[in-house]
A and B are shown apart, each in its own frame.
Chain A
């Protein structure tokens, strides 16, 4: 379908597609198997200028928004949802600075992210604070001109690989989530270390680690917005980056559908290709319907967010739910179409099925997303009656 992308968006999509097809796809199965962090691909992305598509021009970017970022994530994810995540998670780490950073903070951190010289990461989740983000225990205490951070963040994508971390910690325990504050923490700050690399079911080329803060002193200037704004920083960031997860899911689903179509035209059973059987055709047709519907919702949401709209939580959650549920369904069906071969690691669809699963879980489980959607739906109804 033609979504009437601008000339610039078309170029972004084409370039990302070229990198996915020529550079990522040949390595995807190997990097998944080994759990190799894709440093080489990150260098290619840096040279391509794609790292800065969502960053303002005055900070070295191309001045696009969530839509441009999502186009890149979608294309890269067609080839590998793990490698694309290292790119997308940098966006997640950068958006708190883009949205809430002051000019000095933006000048200091965004140009290196835009140039692809540094990766970023976002630290919110803790062992006891998953869906209930208000349960975080990491603390930040002001001591002179510095905040002293103590605590452990869990399952942080790009942990150890990123140079720039935006971290949410508690500055006032008496105020609940209103006592949270967000900080920029640089790698190599004394007292900031990393846990072991997690051994994951999917997205294995991405790197997931704990962030451990042990009397880690962060300059006062690294506070984002103001004390007590941390929860808002996190929620507003996630509202804007959920379409990125949706785009990742969309790319994985598209990649799986392409593999299923290709295989169905090659595989012969009962004397003809399996693509000639209606049972197979209908599965393929359903894949196409669901993917295109999800894509339309993701793109529309991206444009809505980039228009500067304020109330985006519901739409952002809807596109994430729809695209990730679609990815899970489509990748599972792709494995079904490839049959026994689909279950084997020599073929790419079992990896896609493993990669798809996380998109229903992270950046807010799909159950939490449905809470957000319903809450807003009911609020909207009350407001109009």
Chain B
């Protein structure tokens, strides 16, 4: 079973800074990590590989430095990494991103399943996975919390809903996006880390994947961000930790000290 996992590099901080001119996220000079939801996608890909053999290829679109992040997935057990990196890809919205990824995946060749995280923690759109499936003309399921079966050209999975979950079956090749509940990602192994040190990341440009530049990057993005702002929350909150009894005691102490309560009430 050949699996492709799509990952995105996101700022480690939850306070995303924006470029006011282009209204895109400033990624330079900020510590970056693999999008937390994508770590579940990588893990699920590796688990399928462990069961069925085959290989896991991890794909990302981003600046050249993303290659280091991709190597971290080799330390976990990924076989190959592909980075789509080109000035032409810069400033892409979700549609242009899905297009670029689809062209990269066409170049990779045969695959059975594509796995993405349910969304990225910076943009929070949850659109790239489904858009990518449409671009490739394959079925998809979002918010997958469990794969119950895979083989014979089919995958059975559970899609998380507000009320519970749906049992879904798709024909392969297919794309799924996964939620946190699906697994607990493994830590790297020493041998994996050593392999990652030596691993080569294939870096492909728009020309390498035969992409139409009019559909790439800022130019290929029908959505334009006009303005971004951080909503102001006036509410100050404080979390109390400990056992329920301790939490109650701390809360009471606080309310007493703020004179919202009187002792003996």
Contact = CB atoms under 8 A, between A and B. Distances in A.
Contact of B187 (A11, A22, A53, A346): A22
A131 B192 CA distance: 43
A350 B66 CA distance: 43
A23 B187 contact: yes
Contacts of B193: 11, 15
A22 B184 CA distance: 12
A53 B193 CA distance: 14
Contacts of B194: 8, 11
B154 interface: no
Question: Chain A CB within 10 Å — which of B186, B190, B192 has the most?
Answer: B190
Interface stretch (A41-49, A190-198, A272-280, A292-300): A41-49
A232 interface: no
B188 interface: yes
Contacts of B191: 49
Contacts of A53: 190
Nearest to B243: A346
A298 to B, nearest CB: 21
A211 interface: no
Nearest to B193: A11
B187 A49 contact: no
Interface footprint category on A: 10 to 19
Contacts of A8: 194
Contact of A49 (B186, B189, B197, B242): B189
B242 A346 contact: yes
Given A7-B197, A346-B242, A47 B190 contact: no
B139 to A, nearest CB: 34
Contacts of A44: 187
Nearest to B186: A47
Contacts of B197: 7, 11
Chain B interface, DSSP helix/strand/loop, else mixed: helix
B187 A47 contact: yes
A11 B194 CA distance: 8
A62 interface: yes
B190 A18 contact: no
Contacts of A19: 187
A12 B189 CA distance: 9
B242 A15 contact: no
A50 interface: yes
Contacts of B189: 15, 47-49
Contacts of B190: 11-12, 15, 48-50, 53, 62
A47 B187 CA distance: 8
B33 to A, nearest CB: 13
A48 B186 CA distance: 9
Question: Chain A CB within 10 Å — which of B186, B189, B193, B194 has the most?
Answer: B193
A103 B138 CA distance: 56
B246 to A, nearest CB: 8
A19 B186 CA distance: 10
Contacts of A47: 186-187, 189
Interface in A1-58: 7-8, 11-12, 15, 18-19, 22-23, 44, 47-50, 53
A22 B242 CA distance: 20
Contacts of A48: 187-190
A329 B1 CA distance: 56
Contacts of A49: 189-192
Contacts of B187: 15, 18-19, 22-23, 44, 47-48
A49 B192 CA distance: 9
A23 B194 CA distance: 22
A43 to B, nearest CB: 11
B191 to A, nearest CB: 5
Contacts of A11: 190, 193-194, 197
Question: Chain A CB within 10 Å — which of B186, B187, B191, B242 has the most?
Answer: B187
A48 B197 CA distance: 16
Nearest to B241: A346
Contacts of B242: 346
A19 B187 CA distance: 8
A44 B186 CA distance: 8
Interface string B172-200: 00000000000000111111111001000
B188 to A, nearest CB: 7
Interface string A301-312: 000000000000
A230 to B, nearest CB: 34
Nearest to A8: B194
A346 B242 CA distance: 9
B101 to A, nearest CB: 30
Interface in B236-260: 242
A255 B242 CA distance: 22
A44 B192 CA distance: 14
14 contacts: A7-B197, A11-B194, A15-B189, A15-B190, A18-B187, A19-B187, A22-B187, A44-B187, A47-B186, A47-B189, A48-B189, A49-B191, A62-B190, A346-B242
Closest 10 CB pairs of A and B: A49-B190, A49-B189, A11-B193, A49-B191, A48-B189, A15-B190, A18-B187, A47-B189, A48-B187, A19-B187
Interface of A: 7-8, 11-12, 15, 18-19, 22-23, 44, 47-50, 53, 62, 346
Given A7-B197, A11-B194, A346-B242, 13 more contacts: A8-B194, A11-B193, A15-B189, A15-B190, A15-B193, A18-B187, A19-B187, A47-B189, A48-B188, A48-B189, A48-B190, A49-B189, A50-B190
